[in-house]
Amino acid sequence: DGGITQSPKYLFRKEGQNVTLSCEQNLNHDAMYWYRQDPGQGLRLIYYSQIVNDFQKGDIAEGYSVSREKKESFPLTVTSAQKNPTAFYLCASSIDGQGRTGELFFGEGSRLTVL
Amino acid sequence: GDSVTQMEGPVTLSEEAFLTINCTYTATGYPSLFWYVQYPGEGLQLLLKATKADDKGSNKGFEATYRKETTSFHLEKGSVQVSDSAVYFCALYTGTASKLTFGTGTRLQVTL
């Protein structure tokens, strides 16, 4: 089945450690996105990529990094510079690089907890 | 900038009650409007959308009409079920920003 796979589903990290969240899609979509979800704040865009080897900062990129070396993969690294990393992270994709349809397909999310 | 305002939850209803979740927006240009739903422990799924004024999106018994004059896109369902319990997000897209802007979400709880 086509879709978006995020891993791990749950992750615990000690303060000061970097951690990488995986996102893989087999929908052949050009664009991929990372959102952060916190209670009462909805979804906030961290980074997005409209095409392979290119990505742009979203609204809350500080303390995060990404890469887009392959069309199907868009990993997110939460660095030690991120002051409040405990959150639910959602990866999404859309069929075209400009996101003109506005329709995103989401993975099931990864919940990161910093101990 | 673009923004979406949703009514705060949780909204608690009995099964078969009528549902309205309010959504208003501010945007430059002419946005497309969306409702996404998030079931417990899952990612978001597109529920319905409308791309121009007066369009009505519908799916699974849910409806929303794009009202340009009131800048609103309220979600309605005539008779909710327990299985509709979820968080509902209103969102807009404009070509200017080339990204979706989400509201904060409204949690719906339906009881027997």
> Cβ of B104 under 8 Å from any chain A Cβ?
yes
H or E segment at A17?
none
* B39-66 average pLDDT score: 94
Higher pLDDT, A96 or B49: B49
Mean pLDDT in chain A?
91
Option in B43, B49, B95 nearest A103 (CB): B49
Residue B105 Ramachandran class (φ > 0 left, ψ -120 to 50 alpha, else beta)? left
pLDDT at B58 > cutoff 80: yes
The residues that bridge with A19 in the sheet, in sequence order, are A78
* B68-79 average pLDDT score: 96
Task: Write the DSSP symbol of residue B65.
Answer: E
- Please judge whether B98 and A108 are an interchain contact, meaning their C-beta atoms are less than 8 angstroms apart: no
* N residues, chain A: 115
Report yes or no: B25 and A85 within 8 Å, Cβ to Cβ.
no
Q: Which of A83-87, A102-106, B10-14, B24-28 has the lowest mean pLDDT?
A: A102-106
What are the structure tokens assigned to B51, written together? 């791309």
* Chain B residues with CB-CB distance to A102 below 8 A: 32, 34, 49, 91-93, 100
- Please judge whether B105 and A42 are an interchain contact, meaning their C-beta atoms are less than 8 angstroms apart: yes
- Please judge whether B99 and A109 are an interchain contact, meaning their C-beta atoms are less than 8 angstroms apart: no
pLDDT at A78 > cutoff 90: yes
pLDDT of res. B99: 77
